[in-house]
Amino acid sequence: MQSDHDILIVGAGPAGCAAAYDLARSGKRVLLLDRRTFPRPKACACGLTRKTLKALRYSVDPVIERVCHEIVLQQTADPASPNGQVRVKTRKAICAMAVRENFDDFCLQRTLASARNGGSVDLRKIETILALRELPTHIELDIQTATGIETLTAPILIGADGSNSQTRRLLYQDSHGEAPALANGFALEATVPYAALPSTLPGGDSPQDLVFDFSPLPGGYGWLFPKRDHINIGIGAFAPTNPTSSNQINAVTRALLLDYAKQKLGITTLDHITGQHLGMGGHTYIPRGRVLLVGDAAGLVDPLTGEGIHSAIVSGQAAATAILSNPADAAAAYARELAPLQQTLAFSHRAARAFYADPSRGFKAMRIPLLRSLILKTYADGIPHTKLLTALAKLV
């Protein structure tokens, strides 16, 4: 097999870029394939926790629009209710805000400039991928381009093509039987310029508040994420409220988002509502063969918080480390590298079921200072959950 590239990566979002960056810096020749031309819009509130900023190999300060030191957690729609909300100020910033289109383009440009030690990153726009064949020594990937169908080859392929991953579909269809079901989340968002807001917001919030609101729908939350000149407002459902079904996503509708925008921001129309599924359930993913799935394609969104950029970056880096350390059996090495993240997500999976079954219990915990600080630290820094569990056990 002759190939111009050592690794093919389908998808140039955070997961694909994180993998490409580390591989190219270590001398590998990488081909990044994406069906969109960057900068491209992507449905995402782009809240970047401390752990996400820490995981990145470079500063993304140039695209950070706001840094939040305060978080508002809401339990009921009535702002006057005494148990309605918990407002927490933190010394260190808890979350940084960017616009996803700018964040992704910035990361892509850094990745394209990352090559060292004879490595390279090429970016190619394709229409889609059509077929994937795993052979004993390499991968064959049929791609559809603007001018026709072409076959690419490389020893290893990374599937970083998001929650609707075609790589994942082709991989299980062609090589490994039926794809294990991914848990399904869904979220809708829109942007509202500060200039369009009434002088006082009907929900009692300040326009710059970072709000997670568990009242509008079961199994998820509504949010207000303040950016430089607008608020990103959204609703998302992540955790099944019924153990035998994942129908919680049916509650995520344009009508509900409009109602929520009226209740929180006092506005009755929203331009450009966009939405996307979130890939979850990847704590059970077992890498096999020459195709490694990363980010949403592997189902690595945190089901408690809906956060996925951190997992995308960490899993992309884990895939790169695995390929560099054990190219002969990258899947086994990737399984080991991914295990700590999967353990965290398995904990989140259980915690999400318990929390969303009765959010008032979670709010009780948030009123205890020690627990509140541990819960926030877990969200912001991703501290090992054992610390949180030990603290919980002492209090029960």
Site of interaction with ligand FAD (CB under 6 A): 10-16, 33-36, 42-47, 126, 128-129, 160-162, 166, 187, 189, 234, 276, 278, 295-297, 301, 307-310, 312
Give the number of residues written for the chain: 396
DSSP for residue 123: E
DSSP for residue 180: P
Q: Of the two residues 130 and 391, which places its CB atom closer to ligand FAD in the complex?
A: 130
Q: Of the two residues 184 and 371, which places its CB atom closer to ligand FAD in the complex?
A: 184
Cβ–Cβ under 8 Å, residues 194 and 230: yes
Helix, strand or coil for residue 375? helix
Q: Of the two residues 88 and 392, which places its CB atom closer to ligand FAD in the complex?
A: 88
User: Rounded to the nearest 5 degrees, what angle is found at the Cα of 220, between the Cα atoms of 228 and 385?
Assistant: 90
Rounded CA separation 355/303 (Å): 11
At closest approach, how far in Å is the CB of 364 from ligand FAD?
26
At closest approach, how far in Å is the CB of 360 from ligand FAD?
25
At closest approach, how far in Å is the CB of 325 from ligand FAD?
22
Cβ–Cβ under 8 Å, residues 226 and 219: no
At closest approach, how far in Å is the CB of 297 from ligand FAD?
6
The CA-based dihedral angle spanning residues 337, 333, 311, 254, taken in that order and rounded to the nearest 10 degrees: -150
Q: Of the two residues 169 and 353, which places its CB atom closer to ligand FAD in the complex?
A: 169
Structure token digits, residue 130 = 């059509």
Q: What's the order of all strands across the beta sheet hosting 7-10?
A: 120-125, 29-34, 7-10, 156-159, 291-293
Residue 167 phi/psi, 5-degree rounding, is -60, -45
Cβ–Cβ under 8 Å, residues 70 and 209: yes
Q: Of the two residues 201 and 301, which places its CB atom closer to ligand FAD in the complex?
A: 301
Count CB-CB contacts under 10 A for residue 358: 10
Parallel, antiparallel or unpaired: strands 230-237 and 128-134: unpaired
